[in-house]
Structure 1
Amino acid sequence: MRPLRRRNRAIFMMQTNTMTRHVSKLLLVSVVAVLALLAVLISPLFSAGQAGAQGVSFFGNDTDKQVPQTHAQVELSYAPLVKKVSPAVVNVYTKKVVRQNVSPFANDPIFREFFGAPQERVQNSLGSGVIVSDDGVIVTNNHVVADADELLVVLSDRREYEAELILADERTDLAVLRIDTEGDPLPTVQYGDTRDTEVGDIVLAIGNPFGVGQTVTSGIISATARTDVGVSDYAFFLQTDAAVNPGNSGGALVNTKGELVGINSAIFSRSGGSNGIGFAIPAEMVKRVVDAAVNEGRIVRPWLGLKAQSVTYDIAKSQGMNRPVGVMVTEVFDDGPADEAGLKRGDLITEIDGREVFDENGLKFLAATRSPGEVSQLKVLHGGRYETVGVTLAPPPGATKAELELLEGRHPFSGAEVAELSPRLAEEMGRDPFVTGVLVTRILRGAYAWRVVRPGDLIVSVNNAPIKTLEQLDEALDTDASRWAIELDRNGRRIAGTVTL
């Protein structure tokens, strides 16, 4: 039995060796086939790689886009850019003295003796700013410095300076400060051309979020010309996904050239932290406000003298347009810039100075980046034909400061302070410049007028006499009547009634 077992083992080993030889041949053939296939696949890529070194990319015919060719290109960094720009980004500290009543009766002069005077406490806040001029001019957000009693600017090298507020513009949420360095040089950031900024451009946000110290975040431009944010009256924001948090307000948004493209102003957040939706005021508006602050000490915004509505798809189709773009003129102010340029109701404005517009806010913003007296070129669809119309921009008519009148006597408005609303005053107050009349600006404490009107009301008529001017109001009140029919405009809502004295 044992020899049989040896023979069977020998046969098994011989069969195994035969199978091994067959498998080896099969593996050899397979390896050769795989190598041949790889050679076929790699050959075009190798050729393309050589061509890429000569200016041809892997991405079609776009010669501007190439994969990194050297180890140094793989290790590209924003560090040189940050070193160049970050010294011009500062911290802005504000102090505000707040009076706080410790008792609900503290305002009463009798109870005040028992409960004491209101207590004072110091409220501190922190924001960021950008040095835009080597003589100490700094731009930040208006909401950073609003109502501050003291302003302190701390540079990136920890030098500290008291700051002077030159201009605060609530309408654009920008403020301009100045510090005196006694001749010490200051780093600055140059303005970029916002018109060249496109969606997808890489940007860096530099500021002091949450007070942790200067911080740099990176992202891209997510959108341009955001006008429905509701942060300021002249809303035309750059949107970025670079992380922007509380404390970044007033900081710099820069491009890869180290140029200032915007001032970080607001974020969209439900939690208070960054959700990747930040908004920056474009550099062209920043430059306009800074120039006005330094040269004139105040800003006078030009206007077009028209009202407009966005073009819908139906309007565009009726005008023979292939897509909705531009705004339709709904009202033209008599003898205003648009009226003098020949614009009419129903005209379609598609561009201003070569830039498309999609709503009235965008049109207002682009016009406001210019100075009064300059000419803006409007592309207008009029009578089925496109025309280029030059409009000489001018400030709204009227005084910047209202002539205030305190109403006294036996009538429903006794104790109310009123002003005649001109287009320029309305524009400064953020109201519709096409609405004129007599505006209630203030009411004395305890005055009878509190029973009838509120600050911000427009007096439309008195005893059926329309009121447009202070003179007309004085004439209407110059009577000894016991019953008064009054009509008011309160936040766009008409209120009418009769007051018996």
Structure 2
Amino acid sequence: MKRFAVAQTLIPISILSALIGGAIFIYSCSFANADRPEKGSITFGAVKKTPISSAAQFTPFRTMFADIAEKVVPTVVQVIPTKIDTVIFSNNPFYQFFGDPFGLNDFMGKRQQQRRVPPVEKREYKQQGLGSGVIVSADGYILTNYHVVAGADEIEIKTSDNRSFEADVIGTDSLSDVAVVKIKEKVNDLPVAYLGDSDKLRPGDWAIAIGNPFSLASSVTLGIVSALGRTTGNSNNYQNFIQTDAAINPGNSGGALVNIEGELVGINTMIYTQSGGYMGIGFAIPINMARKIMEDLIYEGKVNRGWLGVMIQDIDPATREAFNLSPETKGVLIGDVFKGQPADNAGIRRGDIVISVNNHPVRSANDLRNSIAAIHPGEKVPLEIIRNNKKLILNVTLTERGSNKLYQSTKTGSNNENTEKEEHAAYLGITAANLTLELSQKAGVDKDTKGVVIIEIDPNSQVAQEGINQFDIILEINKKPVSSLKDFKSLTKNLKTGESIIFLLQRQGNTFFKAFKIR
């Protein structure tokens, strides 16, 4: 009974609560509706623009970048490569591998020739990529990256006005990451980019990147030229990148980098990233370099690069001091000259320092490599060099490098001592020995090579830190020849801490200089 009485009391309370809640809801709704303002009774935003004073010279900035984009965007296209994989399926793999193991065909009276592998089915799987390209001629030539079109079976071009075309690859150059494609259809009215002069760029110049990142067509990003002459560490490729902080992302490859005049100055090619996306460091191929390669591919079907026939290296402070060069001197050190090649024929020697090619200064090994490569084989060009602190000009007729060809150093000869007695001498953590027949074989050099061989290096020594290795051949010390341990001892015995020393070394058939201050 008591329990029942409690239940009777709870029911009216719950009903009362519901009634009160409903009343509150109705009241609040009616109050909100009654309190709403009439349309148009509120003024949104300030009545007057905030007065902002700006110098008259900044007025053109209001539309400058939009004006550039309006003109340049139509010259940048989407390049859509498609790779097609064909897979063959058998409808009955049991028959394909085992035939008729139970003899059913014979039992049913079927003739032997009727036994066949079941029909096969071919299926094509298409995988699409996405990149960008720049229209460089009204009849449909397009400049893009090698890595955008490499391995493509089909290429589709989409313009900014939504037209679509099929295209063929005209030529590619993997060493510079440049490719040229051409629209198959006959066209003559395409918008064309104006090719500027990338040699005139300076760090700090405005840079505008246009492309199709992440399939977002005709995207425009703004930045500056961060640096010039960048490389990414692959010494086999020809690199002279423009670095920019204009946002470049996957899909921008092959797109345009333009200057403040709307001139094409680079072809966007790669980014530095730890996340897979933009981190403020992008790279573009200078248009002067890309144009030369493009013209070779279109007119000749391949890239023809000049060949000098030397081993080269940058000049570090220790090398500069060892060669008595002034701090202002910029150039490239010749580490080796290949026998019978253009440099050898022109009289260039190991130890020469090249300071200009064709009247254009060179400041690094990469500069020299690119400068020579940009000159067609057969052309005669002046090289300005420093030899024994004197400037000389030598005329060199460049050739084309032969593929898979081995080149021999100019300076080899008979070892004066030609001794089989293995003596040792130590200096700076180096243990050296005369080049006996056995040691010549271990070091992989000709038995008649002049020099002494490093048979052991203290791993904690300065020479080990400088990158000198076991079985390197010492050919010279401080530009004096080393034919034996006697020479080695004579040239090292009076050297003191703080002085510069420069070795001429041979490793795997190539010679190079290594200089440092003795600690």
Question: TM-score, length-normalised on structure 2?
Answer: 0.60
Assess if the C-alpha contact under 8 Å between 2:81 and 2:149 holds in 1: yes
Assess if the C-alpha contact under 8 Å between 1:330 and 1:346 holds in 2: yes
Deviation at residue 76 of structure 1 after TM alignment: 4.5
Cα 1:71–1:151 change in 2 (3 A) is closer
Equivalences for residues 350-369 of structure 1 within 5 A: 350-369=355-374
Deviation at residue 100 of structure 1 after TM alignment: 7.0
Select 2:375's aligned residue among 366, 370, 375: 370
1:144 counterpart letter in structure 2: V
Equivalences for residues 255-270 of structure 1 within 5 A: 255-270=259-274
1:75 counterpart letter in structure 2: R
Look up the SS of the partner of 2:210 in the other structure: strand
Deviation at residue 75 of structure 1 after TM alignment: 2.5
> Aligned partners of 2:246, 2:235: CA distance in 1, in Å?
19
Deviation at residue 309 of structure 1 after TM alignment: 1.2
Assess if the C-alpha contact under 8 Å between 1:237 and 1:280 holds in 2: yes
Equivalences for residues 60-459 of structure 1 within 5 A: 68-69=55-56, 72-73=59-60, 75-98=62-85, 120-230=124-234, 233-323=237-327, 325-396=330-401, 424-426=402-404
* Number of residues of Structure 1 aligned to a counterpart in Structure 2: 339
Assess if the C-alpha contact under 8 Å between 2:168 and 2:184 holds in 1: no
Deviation at residue 331 of structure 1 after TM alignment: 1.5
Look up the SS of the partner of 2:56 in the other structure: coil
Look up the SS of the partner of 1:425 in the other structure: coil
Deviation at residue 322 of structure 1 after TM alignment: 3.1
1:283 counterpart letter in structure 2: I
- Superimposed CA distance per residue, residues 461-500 of structure 1 (whole angstroms, 9 cap, x where no aligned partner): 9xx9x9xxxxxxxxxxxxxxxxxxxxxxxxx989xxxxxx
Which ranges of 4 or more aligned residues in structure 1 deviate by more than 4 Å?
99-102, 109-114, 116-120, 432-435
Deviation at residue 351 of structure 1 after TM alignment: 2.7
Look up the SS of the partner of 2:261 in the other structure: coil
Moved more, 184-193 or 89-98: 184-193
Cα 1:73–1:130 change in 2 (3 A) is closer
1:346 counterpart letter in structure 2: G
> Aligned partners of 1:232, 1:274: CA distance in 2, in Å?
26
Deviation at residue 357 of structure 1 after TM alignment: 3.2
Assess if the C-alpha contact under 8 Å between 1:239 and 1:280 holds in 2: yes
Look up the SS of the partner of 1:133 in the other structure: coil
> Aligned partners of 2:407, 2:87: CA distance in 1, in Å?
38
- Superimposed CA distance per residue, residues 328-383 of structure 1 (whole angstroms, 9 cap, x where no aligned partner): 11121222221222111000112334444344333211221222223333231112
> Aligned partners of 1:434, 1:235: CA distance in 2, in Å?
26
> Aligned partners of 1:118, 1:308: CA distance in 2, in Å?
54
Deviation at residue 162 of structure 1 after TM alignment: 0.7
Structure with larger RCO (C-alpha < 8 A, sep 6+): 2
Assess if the C-alpha contact under 8 Å between 2:338 and 2:407 holds in 1: no
Look up the SS of the partner of 1:77 in the other structure: helix
Cα 1:79–1:237 change in 2 (3 A) is same
Deviation at residue 325 of structure 1 after TM alignment: 3.2
1:321 counterpart letter in structure 2: L
Cα 1:145–1:344 change in 2 (3 A) is same
Assess if the C-alpha contact under 8 Å between 2:382 and 2:394 holds in 1: yes
Counterpart of 1:29 in structure 2 is none
Deviation at residue 393 of structure 1 after TM alignment: 2.0
Deviation at residue 72 of structure 1 after TM alignment: 3.2
Assess if the C-alpha contact under 8 Å between 2:226 and 2:244 holds in 1: yes
Look up the SS of the partner of 1:75 in the other structure: helix
> Aligned partners of 1:333, 1:207: CA distance in 2, in Å?
44
Cα 1:71–1:212 change in 2 (3 A) is closer
Equivalences for residues 459-498 of structure 1 within 5 A: none
> Aligned partners of 1:321, 1:99: CA distance in 2, in Å?
63
Could you tell me which runs of 5 or more consecutive residues in structure 2 were left unpaired when the two chains were aligned: 1-53, 100-116, 410-440, 447-506, 510-519
Deviation at residue 185 of structure 1 after TM alignment: 0.7
- Superimposed CA distance per residue, residues 82-118 of structure 1 (whole angstroms, 9 cap, x where no aligned partner): 122111111000110235799xxx9xx959999x999
2:78 counterpart letter in structure 1: N
Cα 1:257–1:77 change in 2 (3 A) is closer
Assess if the C-alpha contact under 8 Å between 1:173 and 1:232 holds in 2: no
Assess if the C-alpha contact under 8 Å between 1:231 and 1:266 holds in 2: no
Cα 1:219–1:345 change in 2 (3 A) is same
Look up the SS of the partner of 1:158 in the other structure: coil
Question: TM-score, length-normalised on structure 1?
Answer: 0.62
Deviation at residue 297 of structure 1 after TM alignment: 1.6
Assess if the C-alpha contact under 8 Å between 1:316 and 1:325 holds in 2: no
Cα 1:368–1:111 change in 2 (3 A) is farther
Moved more, 174-183 or 319-328: 319-328
Assess if the C-alpha contact under 8 Å between 1:426 and 1:433 holds in 2: no
Q: Which has the larger radius of gyration?
A: 2
2:225 counterpart letter in structure 1: I
Look up the SS of the partner of 2:180 in the other structure: strand
> Aligned partners of 1:359, 1:99: CA distance in 2, in Å?
48
Look up the SS of the partner of 1:86 in the other structure: helix
